[in-house]
């Protein structure tokens, strides 16, 4: 043991060393090795699916249907997509050669960083652990995965699942809390991929700076949902309710608050209430499929945010089951505590706008969000929002579902994060792209070599303009 080191710290340090040795052996580099690793995850996902579904119910009260749709199926889709495209992504990419590089060719190729740390949150504990791991493996890295201690049952299943597929020097899981997090961030990694809160994201970035380790931060924030007066109100209501109910609002891309045109506000409220009844019945907390808040602290935080607000529907919870009824809050002011932090619960505050200037003023009150949703049938409005409102990603006339398209990257901007993943974006995130010029030897143009001369100068000026 090194001086002052605990047993845990020693284990973690040795694990990183073992992974680095393994990576440097070159065993992770070939297409076959990467595909084999991805196949192992596919096998494990099928084998451990019942255990994962049960653990998700234990940790978050998620029903098997919701867990399958929003965690297992999404992970499988990402896995299949990566397996299908991996060979193409690994190929060299040729780029046009500059005349100054005559005679030769230019190309780029992706190389893995090495040993990668993936830190995951508790809210989608299967998806957000395994998706980055799949991308990192596809890119040829060794991975240490740190699941959140707040979803302990899922973390335990994932630990077993990964141990059943991989030797620890290839992919390993480190479970635990503060001590493990601190010990991990003391190590030198070649890449850190963090999903979680802004506050911890800042700590991760600071720790990474010590070794100049590149970092992706997948953070959260307040994602707005705009409904203008041309929207198809019944559809909008249904899709907004879907986005807010998923995992009881504990979703990084959940619509955090609504900005609605006053002309359709009450029609939208009625439609959302109808949808809530259709989906969860008269008493949402009695519906066996409705998830709960992850823990007491989180439950109390969200309940406190509702205090003093005007609830159109909901507004109550059950401290025994930690469930909070889906809640719509009307006439919320920008100064209210609920507008000061990411809600991360099934509560939807509503603000109104009539002009684009008013809308922009509200949106600019907040940091750049991870997601933004717009419900409209007005093409000009759609263009205007896309051009003027910065955000990580989003949907027009829907919520949440943009992250299901593996063909495009997913990530935040500004305070909602940096970098992206999913599909090719994920492969590129976990790869360094080397740029190469390969020179041929049949000719060697003399212009760049000493001694310089007027004729050389003339040629250079003619060619390099
Ligand atoms: P968190 O920041 O508390 O924890 C994330 C991870 O960091 C966990 O593994 C945790 O164990 C670890 N951690 C916690 N404190 C730490 C510390 N002091 N030092 C080092 N590591 C530490 O986040 P959370 O509560 O698990 O997740 C909720 C947040 O994550 C929300 O803000 C949500 O928006 C965000 N989120 C973002 C995305 C995304 O894709 N952008 C996805 C899900 C969640």
Kindly give the distance from the C-alpha atom of residue 201 to the centroid of ligand 1, in angstroms, as a whole number.
Answer: 8
Q: Which atom of ligand 1 is nearest to the CA of 147?
A: 9
- Asked if 451 contacts 124 with a C-beta cutoff of 8 angstroms, the reply is no
For 430-459, letters b (16+ CB in 10 Å) and e give: bbeeeeeeeeeeeeeeeeeeeeeeeebeee
pLDDT at 121: 98
Q: Is 79 in the pocket of ligand 1 (CB under 6 A)?
A: no
Ligand 1 pocket member 406 (CB < 6 A): no
- Which of 121, 210, 394 to mutate to test ligand 1, by most ligand atoms within 8 A of the CB atom? 121
Helix axes 31-60, 73-90, angle to 10 degrees: 160
Residue-wise pLDDT for 267-278, tens only, equals: 999 999 999 999
Average pLDDT of span 215-238: 97
End-to-end CA distance of the chain: 60
| Residues contacting 392, CB < 8 A, separation 6+ | 368, 369, 370, 371, 410, 411, 412, 413, 416, 417
Among 72-81, 93-102, 167-176, 196-205, name the one with the lowest average pLDDT.
Answer: 93-102
Q: Quick one: pLDDT at residue 463?
A: 87
Instruction: Give yes or no for residue 218 CB within 6 A of ligand 1.
Output: yes
Determine phi and psi for 257, rounding to 5 degrees: -145, 160
Q: How far is CA 413 from CA 219, 372, 419, in A?
A: 9, 12, 8
Which architecture, in CATH terms, is 7-219+416-434? 3-Layer(aba) Sandwich (3.40)
Q: How far is the CA of 167 from the centre of ligand 1 (A)?
A: 27
Q: What per-residue confidence (pLDDT) applies to 223?
A: 98
Report which protein residue has its CA nearest ligand 1's atom 10. Answer: 148
Atom of ligand 1 nearest to the CA of 122: 26
Is domain 224-406 classified as CATH 3.20.20.10? Answer: no
Q: Are 255 and 348 in contact (CB under 8 A)?
A: yes
Domain boundaries for CATH 3.40.309.10 within the chain: 224-406
Give bridge partners of residue 43 from the DSSP assignment. Answer: none
With a 6 Å cutoff on the Cβ, whether 181 touches ligand 1 is yes
Q: Which atom of ligand 1 is nearest to the CA of 146?
A: 9
Ligand 1 lined by 405 (C-beta under 6 Å):
no
- In terms of Cβ atoms closer than 10 Å to its own Cβ (0-12, 13-18, 19+), residue 2 is exposed
CATH 3.40.605.10-classified regions of the chain: 7-219+416-434
Query: Can you tell me which atom of ligand 1 is nearest the CA of 149?
Result: 11
What percent of the chain shows pLDDT beyond 90? 95
Model confidence pLDDT, tens digit, residues 298-338: 999 999 999 999 999 999 999 999 999 999 999 999 999 99
So which residues are the catalytic ones?
Answer: 218, 252
Ligand 1, atom 11: closest residue by C-alpha: 148
Question: Is the beta carbon of 123 within 6 A of some atom in ligand 1?
Answer: yes
Atom of ligand 1 nearest to the CA of 410: 40
**pLDDT surpasses 80 at 3:** no
Each residue of 328-344: pLDDT tens digit? 999 999 999 999 999 99
pLDDT value at 1 more than 80? no
Residue 343 Cβ inside 6 Å of ligand 1? The answer reads no
Instruction: Note whether 166 and 156 are within 8 A (CB).
Output: no
> pLDDT per residue over 386-425, tens digit each?
999 999 999 999 999 999 998 999 999 999 999 999 999 9
Nearest CA to ligand 1 atom 21: 181
What's the pLDDT at 322? 97
Q: What is the pLDDT of residue 465?
A: 82
Task: Indicate if the pLDDT at residue 81 is higher than 90.
Answer: yes
Checking if the pLDDT of 98 tops 90, the result is no
- What residue's CA is closest to ligand 1, atom 30? 196
């Amino acid at each position: 043991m090194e001086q002052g080191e605990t047993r845990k710290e020693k284990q973690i340090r040795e694990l990183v060393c073992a992974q680095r040795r393994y990576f440097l052996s070159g065993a992770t580099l070939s297409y076959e090795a990467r595909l084999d690793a991805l196949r192992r995850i596919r096998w494990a996902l099928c084998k451990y699916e019942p255990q994962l579904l049960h653990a998700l119910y234990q940790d978050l009260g998620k029903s098997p249907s919701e867990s399958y749709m929003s965690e297992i199926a999404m992970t499988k889709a990402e896995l299949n997509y990566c397996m299908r495209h991996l060979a193409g992504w690994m190929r060299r990419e040729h780029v046009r050669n500059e005349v100054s590089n005559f005679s030769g060719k230019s190309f780029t190729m992706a190389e893995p960083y090495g040993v990668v740390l993936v830190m995951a949150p508790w809210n989608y504990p299967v998806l957000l652990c395994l998706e980055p791991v799949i991308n990192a493996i596809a890119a040829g890295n060794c991975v240490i995965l740190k699941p959140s201690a707040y979803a302990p049952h899922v973390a335990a299943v994932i630990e077993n699942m990964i141990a059943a597929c991989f030797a620890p020097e290839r992919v390993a899981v480190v479970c635990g809390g503060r001590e493990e997090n601190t010990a991990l961030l003391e190590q030198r990694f070649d890449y850190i991929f963090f999903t979680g809160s802004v506050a911890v994201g800042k700590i991760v970035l600071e720790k990474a700076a010590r070794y100049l380790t590149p970092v992706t931060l997948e953070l959260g924030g307040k994602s707005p949902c705009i409904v203008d007066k041309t929207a198809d109100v019944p559809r909008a209501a249904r899709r907004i309710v879907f986005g807010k109910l998923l995992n009881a609002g504990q979703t990084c891309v959940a619509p955090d608050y609504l900005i609605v045109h006053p002309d359709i506000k009450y029609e939208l409220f009625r439609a959302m209430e109808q949808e809530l009844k259709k989906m969860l019945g008269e008493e949402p907390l009695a519906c066996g499929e409705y998830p709960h808040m992850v823990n007491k602290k989180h439950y109390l935080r969200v309940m406190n945010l509702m205090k003093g607000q005007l609830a159109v529907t909901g507004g109550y919870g059950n401290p025994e089951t930690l469930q909070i009824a889906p809640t719509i809050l009307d006439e919320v002011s920008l100064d209210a505590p609920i507008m000061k932090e990411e809600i991360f619960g099934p509560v939807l505050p509503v603000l109104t706008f009539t002009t684009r200037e008013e809308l922009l003023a509200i949106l600019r009150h907040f940091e750049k969000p991870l997601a933004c949703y717009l419900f409209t049938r007005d093409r000009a409005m759609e263009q205007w929002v896309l051009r003027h409102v910065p955000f990580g990603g989003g949907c027009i006339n829907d919520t949440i579902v943009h992250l299901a398209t593996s063909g495009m990257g997913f990530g935040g901007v500004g305070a909602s994060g940096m970098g992206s993943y999913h599909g090719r974006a994920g492969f590129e995130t976990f790869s360094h792209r080397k740029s190469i010029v390969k020179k041929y030897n049949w000719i060697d143009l003399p212009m760049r070599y000493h001694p310089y001369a007027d004729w050389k100068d003339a040629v250079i000026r003619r060619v390099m303009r």
